[in-house]
Amino acid sequence: MIEFVIADDYDDMSRKAADIISAQIASKPDCVLGLATGSTPVGIYACLAEKYNNGELDFTHITSLNLDEFKGLSHDDKNSYYHYMYRNLFSKVNIDLNRAFVPDGSIENADEACRRYEKNIADTGGIDLQLLGLGHNGHIGFNEPSDVFPKRTHLVNLAESTISANSRFFTYKKDVPKQAYTMGIGNIMESKKILMAVSGTDKADIVRKAFFGDITPNVPASVLQLHPNVTVIGDKAAFSEITDYI
């Protein structure tokens, strides 16, 4: 089942998404959170950090698993997703860094990198709540449009549109990574709950295709139509093409 929650704007979306994550932590203090990077969750993480500072949240027993990481970037590279997570959340709350997992982009051997991350995922016992953003081409994690839904953690060649979207964070285009390690669609679908956050008119078209179009690996997020527990939080702009359906 998919529940759509309409937010007024980006800040409202961030607060509402953070409230759902807080409720998850309150109901299961040792839960496993699946986390995402990108522009969309920055406000959500700021709200979670604020709640932690106010004494409303405790991350002591939380385990986290991030969706993806650029191949070739180590965790201390400022453009790595680990570094993003450290800046936006890990350094701001009392999460145990030994239980805050992000694929290791510095591992050159893809089979080894993916095998290790699959072990991390398996050792946690499974994800309780997976936070997702939505790529303009419908990707979730870095599962790009393709002919199949990849099951498990794998090495992916990033789509040209994804590389140019990511280039905003790099001084030189040549430095923008062209490959990433990502959880597969199977990993995402196995999580008990999914929380997707979307914001802005530039996501309106893909939100409609993902949730009201055909289920196809050409629009990877469309697979979420088959998940039993999905909440999509979007601002009015991101939902502007689906207001007649929800």
Which residues does the annotation mark as catalytic?
68, 137, 139, 144
> Could you tell me the strand order of the sheet in which 154-157 lies?
68-70, 179-182, 154-157
Closer by beta carbon to ligand F6R, 2 or else 165? 165
Member of 14, 40, 124, 222 binding ligand F6R (CB under 6 A): 40
Residue 36 interacting with ligand F6R (CB under 6 A) = yes
Query: Structure tokens of 181?
Result: 């390690």
The pair phi, psi for residue 101, each rounded to 5°, is -95, 135
| 154 sits in which H/E element | strand 154-157
180 binds ligand F6R per the rule CB under 6 A: no
Q: Site size for ligand F6R, by CB under 6 A?
A: 14
* Binder of ligand F6R out of 34, 105, 133, 150 (CB under 6 A): 133
Decide the pairing of beta strands 179-182 and 154-157. antiparallel
Binder of ligand F6R out of 14, 24, 37, 130 (CB under 6 A): 37
184 binds ligand F6R (CB under 6 A): no
Residue 229 binds to ligand F6R (criterion: CB under 6 A)? no
Point out the residue whose Cβ comes nearest to ligand F6R. 133
**Residues in contact with ligand F6R, shown as a per-residue x/- string from 57 to 96 under the rule CB under 6 A:** ----------xx----------------------------
Minimal CA–CA distance to 20: which of 202, 230, 236? 230
Nearby residues of 5 by Cβ (< 8 Å), 6 or more positions away: 16, 231, 232, 233, 234
